[in-house]
Structure 1
């Protein structure tokens, strides 16, 4: 644990303000996107003297960045330097719209790696570990920065790109890998393949699994299922292509800590923009402090989180988000007056070992949303699932039991919500 992670709140805030002030002065001289935003809002950056003054900065949204990139192809006007000054190009997954291209300078790519090194340190990794990356290594940022960060750890890395699931399992077993990095959905899929092949993962050398790319590793039932399958301790990580690697799980597993040495976090009411108090939920808004070649100021992530304050049994002073990313603000479904996030359904379904995979089918009945579940499970389990859902959510949800291997599996972000509402694309 670094000195900054256990520092006083006053010291952390002073550190953040110093980095923010330096970065703002830089981008006002060279970043056309933010020069225009600051001019429209008549912003004087010298007026930002404390964190409450962040409200003077306008929000940044993904739709804004996508529109800017379409207006100024191919990279938009939100770069602070000429394209030849950049070192890496990655893009968003495209699950919620047109992929956004984001470039990193050599300096900011090094910053990404240092942020991921914080993830490794919190998970107790050392140079003696062997890291297996079950990831395709395409243009999606995924675990590219995690792979780069292994340099700072000094650990041996094994790339799993271009392999089938069985090839990946055989490779990580043959090479004695001690750490698995992949999405939580893919960790469960690998466990499924291992069972089919008669492979006991609990007897493997994997001692830690680290997950990113989608919520899951902080959902209690999902985390338990991964840990039981692999016989390993599971850690979550949160990051975004347009923001950076901002979140990590500590040994206390209380949720996700925001790396406040490199990011400023706000948790705001998505309607009013007001700060939500500790214990309440709101939208996570982030500002990165080490990526001034591709900055993101007050970026509206669209992620629902809980304000857990700054106290954790691990001793860190960094902000805690209990339960990690609870869902997307725009993923909330209102079914017969009950607010439901897909993560709540995952937490219930993953309590049952007989459930291999599932889909959430959303339809509309007038102005109301309706849900149906397709679940790979024995038909005689359906009444128990429905009763558990009713007890937890006060809803009776129709369930269709389907044959094993009927539903798709995922290496990257799982797409389990099938939206068939008439008013949706």
Structure 2
């Protein structure tokens, strides 16, 4: 397999085109879901002779796959091989609706592990490390694929399933773990538990923390807070059950690199579907190049990103998502004429070490969206916090200070935005 870390854009495109054409030949006559999509678009796959031609393929969206599984239960028709070829089943979290079931062959599963290996190596994980996975090992793919990726490096890996937060803190210290893998919210929650229990995290051997599952580790204030709590360097990772582990951060911490050896990325205007240019924001669209048993072609992720170009201080020439995942395309709130993303709120709130947790309540008053913040913090902090929010967003945002441990904590994706607007 070609190493693309120092490759030119032309070399990357040639590699991607070869992989894409090989995959299209596999699925064009064996995958009923994409056979129907190609036919409805009047598409001949032999016409795909450049990466630019990829735009001729129709987008794939999640609700299509969900509807397909409802029509062809239980696994849908986006399967290239006979059922006996598949060895693993995982599902999406269902936070945006009905969980989607995804099957993988052994070849596909090995590919997942290879993608996670790229994440680890970019963060500096080596065979000498001891890696602690602070997850409950359920039906979600991130935990299992993270474990498999560590095996490729040869790292001693400690699964943290079936433990309380306190037990995990004790276990990672007992085994001398040097790398922590969890969501950014959970890293902050573990740090909160450590403070309450007078556990000195700075004396642990953790030197790296790697995060996935939600935006956070690429938000400057959140990353700083995690690094200060753990005394470790923090790295972000981006992936989706439907797509694969497609992105990673490097030591420059300027954004998320796309793993272009295994994925083709586009950034498009959400409404028109037209490509954006460097410096513009849009929706991330991905095509995976090694999961042909359950492929995703031009999959609209729903994630808002900024095209960061192809230059990075680390020397990689891959597409950079500046600032990581900025949020969901449909997460944007318009509050009194101001565009507001939850990730931007998090960047302000996490600058205050006094804030243990927060919640965003979204309501509608007279046809206008309004937000109220519920924050676990001392009441005397509220005026200073309101002033910082006003300076950041030119808005006066109501804040309710609540008692410690009032708001929920999260091991998986944090659900801090509570939408109380009436349904249409």
TM over 0.5: yes
Number of the residue aligned with 2:167: 167
Q: How much does 1:118 deviate?
A: 0.3
Number of the residue aligned with 2:285: 285
Show the 5 A alignment for 1:113-128: 113-128=113-128
Q: What does the per-residue CA deviation read over 1:93-142, in whole Å, with 9 as the maximum and x for residues that have no partner?
A: 01010100001100000000000000011001110000000000100112
Number of the residue aligned with 1:334: 334
Q: Is the 8 A contact 1:331 1:342 kept in 2?
A: yes
Scaled by the length of structure 2, the TM-score of the pair is 0.99
Number of the residue aligned with 1:241: 241
Distance 2:218 2:122 in 1: 15
Number of the residue aligned with 1:394: 394
Distance 2:341 2:349 in 1: 13
Number of the residue aligned with 1:66: 66
Number of the residue aligned with 2:359: 359
Q: What does the per-residue CA deviation read over 1:259-303, in whole Å, with 9 as the maximum and x for residues that have no partner?
A: 000000000001111110100100000000000000000000000
Give SS of 1:339's match. Answer: strand
Give SS of 1:6's match. Answer: coil
Structure 2 residue 97 is matched with structure 1 residue 90: no
Q: How much does 1:11 deviate?
A: 0.3
Number of the residue aligned with 2:374: 374
Structure 1 outlier segments of 4+, above 3 Å? none
Any unmatched runs of 5+ in structure 1? none
Show the 5 A alignment for 1:130-279: 130-279=130-279
What RMSD, in angstroms, separates the aligned Cα atoms of the two structures?
0.8
Paired residues in the alignment total 423
Give SS of 2:84's match. Answer: helix
Between 353-362 and 41-50, report the one with greater CA deviation: 41-50
Give SS of 2:34's match. Answer: helix
Structure 2 residue 112 is matched with structure 1 residue 112: yes
Give SS of 2:217's match. Answer: coil
Number of the residue aligned with 1:307: 307
Q: Is the 8 A contact 1:135 1:142 kept in 2?
A: no
Distance 1:398 1:51 in 2: 49
Give SS of 1:42's match. Answer: coil
Number of the residue aligned with 1:20: 20
Q: How much does 1:212 deviate?
A: 0.2
Structure 2 residue 40 is matched with structure 1 residue 40: yes
Q: How much does 1:367 deviate?
A: 2.2
Q: How much does 1:49 deviate?
A: 1.3
Give SS of 1:245's match. Answer: strand
Q: What does the per-residue CA deviation read over 1:173-206, in whole Å, with 9 as the maximum and x for residues that have no partner?
A: 0000000000000000000000000011111000
Q: How much does 1:48 deviate?
A: 1.2
Between 362-371 and 221-230, report the one with greater CA deviation: 362-371
Give SS of 2:135's match. Answer: coil
Distance 1:264 1:308 in 2: 15
Distance 2:230 2:84 in 1: 44
Give SS of 2:141's match. Answer: coil
Any unmatched runs of 5+ in structure 2? none
Distance 2:359 2:82 in 1: 44
Between 140-149 and 218-227, report the one with greater CA deviation: 140-149
Distance 1:359 1:193 in 2: 19
Q: How much does 1:423 deviate?
A: 2.2
Scaled by the length of structure 1, the TM-score of the pair is 0.99
Q: Is the 8 A contact 1:362 1:372 kept in 2?
A: yes
Structure 2 residue 31 is matched with structure 1 residue 31: yes
Give SS of 2:111's match. Answer: helix
Q: What does the per-residue CA deviation read over 1:141-185, in whole Å, with 9 as the maximum and x for residues that have no partner?
A: 122101011111101000000100000000000000000000000
Between 81-90 and 273-282, report the one with greater CA deviation: 81-90
Distance 2:376 2:83 in 1: 48
Give SS of 1:384's match. Answer: helix
Give SS of 1:370's match. Answer: strand
Distance 1:21 1:384 in 2: 57
Distance 1:51 1:367 in 2: 44
Q: What does the per-residue CA deviation read over 1:28-71, in whole Å, with 9 as the maximum and x for residues that have no partner?
A: 12100000000011101111111221111000000000000011
Q: Is the 8 A contact 1:178 1:208 kept in 2?
A: yes
